[in-house]
Amino acid sequence: MSEKLTIRPYARLITMLGDQLIKNEVIALVELIKNSYDADASWVKVSFIDFNSDYSSNDNSKIIIEDDGCGMDADILRNHWLNPATPEKLRRKKVNARTAKGRILQGEKGIGRFAVFKLGKNIKIVSRRQQKNEDGKFIDRGENKENTLIYDFSKYDDNFLSENGQSRDIFLENLEIELLQSSPQQIVEKDVTLGITKQKRKPYGTIIEITGIKTKWTSAKVNKVQKEIGKLQPIFQHNTGDFTVWIYNNQNIHEAQERYKEKLYNCLENNAVFQITDGFYSNENNNVEFKLNGELIKFNFENEEIKGLRKAKRFAENKYKPDCGSFHFEFYIFDFNADSESSPKYYLGMEEKKMIREHRIYLYRDGIRVMPYGDPDDDWLRLDMDRGTVRANEFFSNDQIVGCVYITQKDNPKLIDKTNREGLIEEDHALQDFITVLQIILGYLRSKPFARYLIDKEHKKLINSIKQGKPLELIETAKKKYSGDKNITAFLTSFERSYSQERKVLQDRINKTENLAAVGLSVETASHDVMLFLKKGLEYIDSLVKESFIGETFDAKELTSRLTLIRGTFSMVETMMKDIQLLFPSTKSKTKKINVKDIIDKVKSLYRRQFKEACINVNIESTVHPLIVKTTDAVLLQVFINLFDNALYWLKTVDRERKINIIIDGDKQRVIFSDNGPGVKDDDINYIFEAFYSGKGEEGRGLGLYIARQLLDRYDYTIDLAEFSKDRILEGANFVLEFARED
């Protein structure tokens, strides 16, 4: 006797899928946001309604997730949303993996929707489907029906083992979900506020309302959601404007405590020892290529220098072809042991180190992050494990690399998400091969370029110790001489530590002095003009006030004219102060690409009055291609303020036509700054870039050119006196600024 049976899942499967399979409420909320991405939404608005200011909840609290995606009709809700493990997306991917907007579909298991049950007991989904034309393409209209799906599980306990307090067997088929259809009421064209902008809401999309909140929310968790959203698309991608997410606590927009991206970009571009960009691994022939600080590097796993790597032996000896597929990558590698004296360019303060440690190597599939790879506590490439079990100095540490690896569903079909969204599953060794290939690439970078960098750093330290004078050398000599006397050795060690600490404090003060030096000079230069414009503005205002007491009516045209004049006067003051503010320490970290001519024009404007009074003619010549350099406004402002100020001083000492000629050469990446003053004396040539040395006698500070060189050196740029006759434009001082990096 035999019988055929059917599988009857218990209702607690919902808890297992939503509450237990999804790791936490942060991932649950991010999963729902990813669903909006798949629905081609341009924005998602997450609202915590009736939560307290610290995000603690009460019986009235609810979470609303609203988007302007393509929405769902009754058929989709009935036949796909309500069916676990629906194969709908998997089928769509086989036909066309892209959405109407060209996005690659992410989910395919039909499990992510159960993230809602991690968040609350009662769910209401309101959705209005976007209309299609006769060709099956979406148009900018919504269907005439609004569909509402209601889950009310409040009568069940958390594990679906009892109903209204009575224990009984509850199967999935016993759960009743209500589906309503009505004319559109909520998802209609209307104004919706997103940040500081108002947008017209499209007549389609989805609203998910979650009540009976199950999880404990805090400000820290919401900050984490916001950070995870920021990492949802590649962190090196500056423009993610086609998909934005807004979080609100009631009517107040949630602002994260730390806006990290701008600081991170600045750190990546200016403090990384190595920038590995445009990286590509070809699965066809095991070829790797990338740009190392702009220089193209290529190698194959059969190269001799690669064969010697521990991880590459299996691939090289057996000509093994990995099963992971081809992929792209980029890495930024830091030196956490760089010090401010021998390696000022790569030196990292505590704040920078903390920021870098918050990131690891992220993995993105078709532009969307595979979690949790990239989290601070994740060692998916096993770098820290190898450092602990093999030899630390053969491997990078996890926290000194920030990177992104890019895979696709097309090129990497065997690299598949786990059902619980916690990384990739392993299929036919694909994941292990993938990790090994990345370990080989990182192993090459550590054993070759980074090893050479460390050797050069040690040489530089030795040179710097010689330049620093005798104290450390004398201490070292004394320690060797009295190595047998523990008391003397202990004293010398203590003295050495104290000396190094004091020297570091003094070095930090020097750096701050260098950064602030031009602020006082620029304020001194601009103050006369600022006061002049302020005085004029106040005179205009006093005149208006006086006239307002005389007449009973105003001539609107005349009043507008006078107010425009006042507005123009104070606009000049504002412009001057903005230029000066660029020098303040709070703005100096914003490294960007800058047109050098724009900076020179600003400084020329700053000295406009002085040049007019001294009858100095300034001529600026530029090549067709502009000179664009990567640094900060403050650095270039300080450099050219010092050059203009020096030229102004020396030109005042000559009794002839006074000229400054500046040639900006974008083709050769250089500037020649020349004047027809008395020039630099032969005796001063070897010293003008030394600190506190000035040819101006007591009137000079002796810091201008020294600071200019120090600042430019931080970015591998240089400033020198012109050595060749072709670079000497006028008969006075001629300076050549080179902006072509030597690396």
pLDDT in tens, 180-236: 999 999 999 998 888 777 888 999 999 999 998 988 999 889 988 888 888 888 888
Measured CA to CA, the distance from residue 34 to residue 18 in angstroms comes to 16
| 3-state SS, residue 523 | helix
CB contact at 8 A, 482 and 492: yes
Percent of the chain with pLDDT over 90: 24
- The per-residue pLDDT for 154 is 82
Q: What is the reported pLDDT for 698?
A: 41
The 10 Å Cβ neighbour count of residue 256 is: 16
> Considering only CA atoms, which of 152, 90, 96, 116 is closest in space to residue 33?
116
- Distance between CA atoms of residues 326 and 284, nearest Å: 8
- For the cut 60, the answer to whether the pLDDT of residue 517 exceeds it is no
Total residues found in the chain within this entry? 743
> What single-letter amino acid sits at 415?
L
Cβ-based neighbours of 737, under 8 Å, separated by 6 or more? 639, 670, 671, 672, 673, 712, 717, 718, 719
pLDDT for residue 615 is more than 90 = yes
Question: For the stretch 77-105, what's the b/e string if a residue is b when 16 or more beta carbons lie within 10 angstroms of its beta carbon?
Answer: beeebeeeebeebeeebeeebebeeebbb
pLDDT at residue 384 above 60? yes
Q: How many other C-beta atoms are found inside a 10 Å radius of the C-beta of residue 249? A: 20
Beta-carbon contacts of 68 under 8 Å, excluding residues fewer than 6 positions away, are: 41, 42, 43, 201, 202, 204, 205
Tokens of 423: 């990384």
| pLDDT at position 273 | 92
CATH topology for 12-257?
Heat Shock Protein 90 (3.30.565)
Q: 158-167, 212-221, 249-258, 423-432: lowest mean pLDDT where?
A: 249-258
3-state secondary structure 58-69: CCCCEEEEEECC
What is the overall mean pLDDT for the chain? 80
**What pLDDT does residue 391 have?**
67
Structure tokens given for 376 = 């601070």
Which has the higher per-residue pLDDT, 253 or 241? 253
Peptide bond into 372 cis (omega under 30): yes
Q: Nearest-CA neighbor of 637 among 613, 666, 603, 601? A: 603
Beta carbons of 411 and 325 less than 8 angstroms apart: yes
CA pair distance 142, 200, nearest whole angstrom? 14
Predicted pLDDT of residue 514: 53
Q: What is the pLDDT of residue 304?
A: 67
Structure tokens at 146: 């609004």
Distance between CA atoms of 690 and 488, rounded to whole angstroms? Answer: 38
CATH code linked to domain 593-738: 3.30.565.10
For the cut 90, the answer to whether the pLDDT of residue 702 exceeds it is no
pLDDT tens digit sequence for 574-591: 665 665 555 555 444 567
Distance in angstroms (rounded) separating the CA atoms of residues 65 and 44: 7
Q: Which is nearest to 606 in space by CA: 631, 628, 636, 629? A: 636
**pLDDT tens for each residue of 710-723:** 888 878 899 999 87
State how far the Cα of 16 lies from the Cα of 108, in Å rounded to an integer.
19
Measured from the Cβ of residue 422, the count of other Cβ atoms closer than 10 Å reads 17
**pLDDT at residue 148 in the model:** 92
* pLDDT band per the 50, 70, 90 thresholds, residue 258: very low
| Three-state DSSP state, 282 | strand
What local confidence, expressed as pLDDT, does residue 86 receive?
A: 63
| Domain boundaries of the chain, sorted by first residue | 12-257, 261-454, 470-581, 593-738
What confidence tens digit (pLDDT) does each residue in 38-72 have?
888 999 999 999 999 889 999 899 999 999 999 99
What's residue 597's pLDDT?
93
Distance CA 64, CA 244 (A): 16
Task: Name the DSSP letter for residue 38.
Answer: H
- The DSSP symbol for 129 reads P
User: Does residue 558 surpass a pLDDT of 60?
Assistant: yes
Q: DSSP letter at 727?
A: G
**Mean pLDDT of the 651-671 span:** 92
Tell me whether domains 12-257 and 593-738 share a fold: yes
State how far the Cα of 361 lies from the Cα of 402, in Å rounded to an integer.
5
Mean pLDDT of 478-507: 74
Joined together, the tokens standing for residue 570 give 């104070």
Mean pLDDT (whole number) for 76-100: 68
Grouping H, G, I as helix, E, B as strand and the rest as coil, residue 22 is: coil
Contact 592, 632 (CB under 8 A): yes
Dist. CA 194–CA 251, nearest whole Å: 11
| Contacts for 472 with CB less than 8 Å, ≥ 6 apart | 465, 496, 499, 500
What are the structure tokens assigned to 168, written together?
């009984």
pLDDT the model gives residue 331: 95
CB 363 within 8 A of CB 329: no
- CA proximity to 355, closest of 402, 396, 398: 402
Question: What pLDDT sits at residue 602?
Answer: 84
- The three-class DSSP label of residue 589 is coil
pLDDT in tens, 108-139: 545 666 778 888 888 999 999 999 888 888 88
CA–CA gap between residue 283 and residue 320 (Å, rounded): 10
pLDDT in tens, 416-456: 877 655 678 776 688 989 999 999 999 889 878 888 788 77
